[in-house]
Amino acid sequence: MATEDKNRATAAAILPLVGGAANVASIAHCMTRLRLGLHDRSLVDDEALKALPAVLGVVEDDTYQIVLGPGTVARVTPEFEQLVEEAREAVPAPVAAVSAEELAAQGAAIKAQQKAKNATPFKLFLRRIANIFVPLIPALIGCGIIAGLNGLLVNLGWLPAVTPALAAMASGFMALIAVFVGYNTAKEFGGTPILGGAVAAIIVFPGVANIDAFGQTLSPGQGGVLGALGAAVLAVYVEKWCRRWVPEALDVLVTPTLTVLLSGLVTIFGLMYVAGEVSSAIGTFADWLLANGGAGAGFVLGGLFLPLVMLGLHQALIPIHTTLIEQQGYTVLLPILAMAGAGQVGAAMAVYFRLPRNESIRRTIRSALPAGLLGVGEPLIYGVSLPLGRPFITACVGGAFGGGFVGLFNQLGDKVGSTAIGPSGWALFPLVDGNHGLGTTIAIYAGGLLVGYVAGFAATYFFGFSKDLLSEFNVSQEPTPSTVAATGNTHPGSPAKAPAGV
């Protein structure tokens, strides 16, 4: 039996004996043991597990540990993870209870259809890239806010004894972000995470300043997160090749050594230079685009961001944002893209006023609007604008005008950026930064939000509804006397069934 088949057979034999995929809460491994977090310990068949030829023993601690031995455990674990994932995907997802609001159901259906369409190889790859960077967002946000606070204190001349400590807190993570990217990349692509982090750590090691490549002296951090991403992916492939050919008895010594050695050499004498050039090109292009395109570029970016989200293509922007933050201290693209949410809020407010009789939709807007103001637009998108059709388009128009406003000021020399990714709307205020004073930067961002609100409202109010759409949706949801008599429903807070399409 081939080695890969033997490892998969071992994983397949273990899975039902630990209660099946549904009983597995977490999967990890150390040098010799497969460590499983289990929902129900009573479902495990200890004696049958011990009887398996590949199992050397079991240990019960905070996790359930199956001893497979060095080399073997590193090969069996990925197969076990894949079997668990396949088993979970084969089980139909439970169907949620149907909402009383048919409009919300329409939005959910559209969202599900779009998710299915987004399951193309390219978009699944982008989702993997997002899975690498999304776990870093909390640290980016926390360090970004600390950096903003530190900048404010420095500008005011307050607490001079504290600001160096705040600077260290804000900059420490960014100085080592390549290591975290490498760790997450290896984990996402099926390698050993710590080996991905070890290879990526080469990029930020100060000693690379003593190395020449392509006739140039390397600098610590050259290539940044893109270099770390490439280095870790390479490490995963080298590791998998090693595990396929290195004897199990030597695996624990040879595989990690060759993985770091081969991937490290390629990183130092190739990836760092290439990724550094690409990263510099990204920063140069972003600056050129907004310095020359200005309002036009902002208009296009702000207007197209919601459709990009719908298509799942927005995930491609995450490494670009991170690269800009690493290079310049902030990303100038995020405040422009955040205007898409402002257009959505303005459109929702217009829908509220255009449908005074439809209490069902108005109630949805009232509940979703606070989240929308804070940059969480999904409830408004899938609960209001997208099912209605035209208001989604006019919301994009609002985002375009807001993006054009911020882009115009970038063209005039007033850069507005964000020191982290993730937040949007009002939640982005603590993270805004630029090349001028904080007051100016905040004022420009606030002005962009206001323009987005007003433009989204106006476009939706005047152009977001056809006569047919109004006649269908601007209908009272209050129960009539005959409805009350027929249903016996006298509760004032329980509206009658919404009309078709609501």
Residues with catalytic annotation? Answer: 30
The Cα-based distances of 264 to 129, 239, 272, 324 in angstroms read 21, 12, 10, 25
Q: Which amino acid is at 322?
A: T
- Give the per-residue SS3 of 34-80: EEEEECCHHHCCHHHHHHCCCCCEEEECCCEEEECCCCHHHHHHHHH
- Rounded to whole angstroms, the Cα distance separating 79 from 58 reads 19
**CA 90 to CA 77: how far, in whole Å?**
20
Quote the longest CA-to-CA distance of the chain: 88
Residue 439's SS3 state is helix
Strand duo 432-434 + 64-67: pairing? unpaired
Sign of the C-alpha dihedral, residues 281, 286, 292, 296? Answer: positive
Helices 177-188/224-245 angle, 10° precision: 40
For residue 80, what are the contacts with CB-CB under 8 A and spacing of at least 6? Answer: 11, 14, 15, 27, 34
Query: What is the rounded CA–CA span in Å between residue 375 and residue 352?
Result: 19
Q: Which helix (H) or strand (E) holds 432?
A: strand 432-434
> How many other C-beta atoms lie within 10 A of the C-beta of residue 413?
9
**Backbone phi and psi for residue 310, each to the nearest 5 degrees, phi listed first:** -60, -35
CA distance 56 to 173: 41
Neighbour tally for 59: CB within 10 Å: 11
Per the CB < 8 A criterion, the answer to whether 431 and 418 are in contact is yes
Pinpoint the alpha helices (H) of 289-433. 295-311, 317-328, 333-337, 339-354, 359-373, 378-380, 386-388, 390-411
At position 262, the amino acid (one-letter code) is: L
Q: If DSSP codes are grouped into helix, strand and coil, which group holds residue 94?
A: coil
Q: What are phi and psi of 132, to 5 degrees?
A: -75, -40
